[in-house]
Amino acid sequence: MPDLDALDHHPDVARIRSRRLTGKVATLVVDATGLDDGEKEKLELSLKEAALAVPGIEEARIALTATKRGRTVVAVGSGKGGVGKSTLAANLAVALARLGQKVGLIDADIYGPSQPRLFGATQRAEAKDKQLIPVEAYGVKLLSVGQLVAEGTALAWRGPMASGALNQLIDADWGDAELIVVDLPPGTGDVQLSLIQKARPAAAVIVSTPQDLSLIDAARAIDLFEKTHVPIAGVIENMAGYDCPHCGQPSDPFGHGGAEAEAKRLGVAFLGRLPLSASLREASDAGNPPAAGEGPAAAAFADLARKLLVQLETIRG
């Protein structure tokens, strides 16, 4: 009997709404929302080839559908700083764009904006009719307070001013962007609450290292989103070990598996883990998101992006 579960590894699996087998004929209903004619044709051909590659399938029928949808906002948060949240948010946005999503990224870390550096996007954001225009880099539309003030400037803003700045970023001209990733500051303060009130995120992703101290704060971040009725799309464990460059042996300076265990305890999805990586740090400092290239790091971020899309579909029902 043919098994269509093999399609779970297709890069556009999140667009598959239903799959049906009738004898040796596979029928897929696929969401083509937001795609132009050329992209729809490529999607249909790719899925047809994937279905026909399944042993036992002799015919594949693809039905494309499209629905009008508002923007989906996904918050990327952490309970504490120093867990690699901004780097992860940047590369997740790039990976989502490479999977065919029309993506925007808001750098809501008002007091410590780092996305312009991570994207190598040093140009200032412009405004038209009092509305900010995002800067585009690596297929992602980006807005950050870091594009509005000189680098290194200390922003001594009280809560209302920070919340006002966030509102400007949210209300920008995002054009055809369908998925907005928001890189939140660490903690559970004014900016988080303003985002929840203003943009009503469809889901939140929580980033944590495996160590106990980080997990305690990650649990607080999860609690905030759950209390404000924002579904948790999943937890990502960052800095989960590395291979020693001198002896080649694996090492776990922050522990291993703690975030996965905490996710299981709290009853939320675990999206995956990323190791400590010197090459990832060097590329990020140089403004070259590894997710935009090839190799193990790009593959890891692509896997996280695919899992996130599946979770979003589950949340939407």
Q: Are residues 184 and 209 in the same domain?
A: yes
* Tens-digit pLDDT profile for residues 180-218: 999 998 777 778 888 888 888 999 999 988 766 667 888
Looking at the fold, whether 58 and 84 belong to one and the same domain comes out as no
- pLDDT at position 254 over 70: no
Angle at 193 between CA 191 and CA 194, to 5 degrees: 65
How large is the average pLDDT for residues 86-115?
91
Q: Is 83 annotated as a binding residue?
A: yes
- List phi, psi (to 5°) of 136: -105, 135
**Predicted pLDDT of residue 257:** 66
Mean pLDDT of 17-23: 86
Residue from 106, 82, 75 nearest 238 by CA: 82
pLDDT(234) > 60 = yes
Here the CATH number for the domain that contains residue 8 is 3.30.300.130
123-161, pLDDT tens digit by residue? 888 888 888 999 999 999 999 987 876 666 666 566 677
**Claim to verify: residue 24 and residue 109 sit in the same structural domain:** no
- Which residue in 153, 107, 90 sits closest to 287, CA to CA? 90
- How much is the average pLDDT of 48-62? 92
CB atoms within 10 A of CB 304: 23
The reported pLDDT for the residue numbered 84 is 82
Highest-confidence range of 15-19, 76-80, 168-172, by mean pLDDT? 168-172
Among 56-70, 93-107, 179-193, top mean pLDDT goes to: 93-107
Q: Give the chain's length.
A: 317
pLDDT at 312 over 80: yes
pLDDT at 111: 76
Q: Give the model's pLDDT for residue 2.
A: 73
Q: So what's the pLDDT on residue 190? A: 79
Are residues 37 and 86 located together in one domain of the fold? Answer: no
Q: Is 139 flagged in the annotation as binding?
A: no
Do 128 and 245 fall into the same domain? yes
Q: Give the count of domains, the chain.
A: 2
Say if residue 252 is in the same domain as residue 274.
Answer: yes
When mean pLDDT is compared across 1-5, 112-116, 120-124, the lowest value belongs to 1-5
Which is higher by pLDDT, 58 or 164? 58
Same domain as 257, residue 239: yes
Give the model's pLDDT for residue 252: 59
Whole-model pTM?
A: 0.74
> End of a domain among 65, 89, 118?
65
Largest interatomic CA distance in the chain: 67
Task: Give the pLDDT confidence of 261-279 residue by residue, as tens digits.
Answer: 888 888 899 999 888 777 7
Domain end residue (candidates: 43, 65, 87) = 65
277 labelled binding-site residue: no
Q: Confirm or deny that 24 is annotated as ligand binding.
A: no
The whole-number pLDDT of residue 317 equals 66
- The pLDDT score that the predictor gives to residue 242 is 58
Q: Is 84 annotated as a binding residue?
A: yes
The CATH number for 161's domain is 3.40.50.300
pLDDT at 273: 86
Is 264 annotated as a binding-site member? no
On whether both 137 and 236 belong to a single domain, the answer is yes
Chosen domain end from 32, 49, 65: 65
Asked whether residue 70 is marked as a ligand-binding residue, the answer is no
If asked whether residues 145 and 248 sit together in one domain, one would say yes
Q: Is 175 annotated as a binding residue?
A: no
Same-domain status, 20 and 119: no
Domain containing 10 equals 4-65
Compute the mean pLDDT over every residue in the chain, rounded to the nearest whole number: 84
The answer to whether residues 98 and 31 belong to one domain is no
Residue-wise over 52-89: b if at least 16 C-beta within 10 A, else e? eebeebeebebebeeeeeeebbbbbbbbbeebbbbbbb
Residues 125 and 247 placed together within one structural domain of the fold: yes
